[in-house]
Chain A
């Protein structure tokens, strides 16, 4: 009888991802949300929030990237993006693009310098 119900199915929750996102796939999420966007919560979670929203707000008390949120919540990035889009629309979080890594001079210049040094 229960052979179908065994295994690690129990590890999952009864709710599927599309219910959590309300059927949205993240395609229309704000464009600024990519994997490395930093998210910070504006305030604590409020009672009555969707648990996922509350979890994100809790996580983001200190800045956290979208990718990290996704990893901690064990949700695919698209789901997190949708949830973050909701929170953004509600002004509960702030998103910020990461600082771009310092731009290195291009290779040709470095090679030129090396050449010059070697010629010394």
Chain B
């Protein structure tokens, strides 16, 4: 009763209320006074004493009760204050755990400096301390991980360097022993094995957060990119390269694309029966170029597909060597990583063949025209015509029998330079870069057609010269008339050139 009165009030009501406890004592005192007045005189003394004592006791009790009431009120106030403080603290802690720490860790992961992260915190002192401790721990952990990744990348780089060296030497050896098929075959196998090692090293480098490997300063035709990808998988013979749109991939994107496609091709060949083919095509799409890899293997269940796509997504968010687990399946992780870094879109679907169809969409900005591409891309073209040594009028002096061995550019331009019709063997741009030669055939057939009747006129019977062995596999198409002109051109020295030219 006292509390209720006193708690809301303050000032005078409170002071009035604070004397309520005197009321019973006053009542008793009044009652005592009345009793004393009413009883006989002999009893007045004891009654007065009893009344007075009880009034005093009551007063004492009342004051005690009032005091306790005040204490209780005081305590309630502190308790509610504590409650609110506690609730606030709780909210703050929740904020710390739910927002501050994750934010801080997130920002650290994104590469912000720990000082910046700590400096921008608005939190109570203790929470800042907590965050600081956590940030320190995270930084230490990240440093550790980073150094581990650096070590991985470092090792991968060394392997790559060796592999590159090896590949170059192998290419030199292949050139040197190119005329001995037994040795050459072995070299090709070693070369293939080396390329596989190189891919593994590239994968480790990519997962370590680095670029896949070598860099290309010039654009490379897509066709070469696709075959480059094929050359890095085990079962490259099972890959069938279909139509490829005639574009080139800009230099910086070449290696990542080759690597991503190689991993997808590897998956496709690995998870399809060995006798099936894997189909590789590249077509134009609105947003760029879509490279499709389709295998005839076991179809992916919806669940497996989801898992694979999840893995791709995970990798895009950032996966590292530590996340790969005991039996690392590098492939999709690498693809996801590369896709994220270079903006490829990768999707896996069920194929109409029953297997898996992987589509990589290369964005438009990574695509350029073939003309910009390196002419060396096919390993041919750059040197096909010794440019300086092409006398435009040099008539065919086709006595190449005297050529004992390949001796590159300094030889006189005997055959190939001679397209007397003015058709360069390999189309070239103004600055000397060779262009794709596929365009040429469109210009050619009329000539060939013209050549055939011209040659056929006088050549019903083959020339006396021994029929070429090459004829044997191809008898049904009457090679005679055409070859004969050529042969007579060969045997008749004086007019060979003119005849050869007249055919054109």
Contacts and interface: CB of A to CB of B under 8 A. Distances in A.
A58 B408 contact: no
B415 interface: yes
Given A13-B376, A15-B378, A62 B406 contact: no
B401 A29 contact: no
A81 B438 CA distance: 21
Say which size band chain B's interface belongs to: 35 or more
B379 A15 contact: yes
Contact of B231 (A14, A91, A96): A14
Contact of B179 (A7, A35, A38): A35
B414 interface: yes
A19 B241 CA distance: 11
Which bracket fits the contact residues of A?
Answer: 35 or more
Contact of A63 (B157, B415, B425): B415
A45 B325 CA distance: 51
A70 B469 CA distance: 20
B254 A14 contact: yes
A12 B225 contact: no
Interface in B180-219: 180-182, 184-186, 188-189, 191-192, 195, 210-211, 213-218
Given A68-B416, A76-B174, A78-B184, A18 B236 contact: yes
A10 interface: yes
Interface string A74-85: 111111010000
A21 B231 CA distance: 11
Contacts of A38: 398, 400-401, 468, 490
Contacts of B426: 55, 58
B138 interface: no
A62 B419 contact: yes
A105 interface: no
A5 B164 CA distance: 8
A19 B181 CA distance: 16
Interface in B273-312: none
Contact of A14 (B210, B225, B469): B225
Interface stretch (B16-24, B55-63, B479-487): B479-487
Contacts of B42: none
Contact of A64 (B385, B415, B474): B415
Nearest to A90: B474
Most buried by A among B211, B474, B500: B474
Given A3-B161, A37-B470, A15 B179 contact: no
A36 B380 contact: no
Nearest to B195: A16
B355 interface: no
A73 interface: yes
Instruction: Determine the main DSSP class of B at the interface with A.
Output: helix
Contacts of B179: 35, 76-78
Interface stretch (B68-76, B113-121, B330-338, B442-450): B442-450
A18 B469 contact: no
Contacts of B168: 8-9, 12
A99 B465 contact: yes
Contact of A47 (B415, B441, B465): B441
Interface string B42-57: 0000000000000000
A16 B470 contact: no
Contact of B223 (A23, A31, A51, A96): A51
Interface in A1-48: 1-5, 7-27, 29-32, 35-40, 42-48
A54 B437 contact: yes
B188 A21 contact: yes
Contacts of B465: 99
B248 to A, nearest CB: 12
Given A26-B181, A51-B437, A75-B379, A14 B236 contact: no
A17 B174 contact: yes
Given A36-B403, A95-B469, A99-B465, A61 B419 contact: yes
Contacts of A10: 214-218, 374
Nearest to B438: A47
B227 interface: yes
Contact of A68 (B213, B415, B419, B447): B415
Contacts of B425: 55, 58-59, 61
Nearest to A55: B380
Give me the 5 closest cross-chain CB pairs, A-B, nearest first: A76-B178, A44-B444, A95-B470, A14-B228, A25-B185
26 contacts: A1-B157, A4-B158, A5-B213, A14-B258, A15-B231, A16-B192, A21-B188, A23-B188, A25-B188, A32-B469, A35-B405, A39-B470, A43-B444, A47-B441, A54-B437, A55-B384, A59-B425, A65-B400, A67-B404, A72-B380, A72-B416, A76-B174, A94-B479, A94-B483, A97-B466, A99-B491
Interface of B: 157-158, 160-161, 164, 167-168, 171, 174-175, 177-182, 184-186, 188-189, 191-192, 195, 210-211, 213-218, 220, 223-225, 227-228, 230-231, 236-237, 243, 254-255, 258, 374, 376-385, 396, 398, 400-401, 403-408, 411, 414-416, 418-419, 425-426, 436-438, 440-445, 447-448, 465-466, 468-474, 477, 479, 482-483, 486-487, 490-491, 500
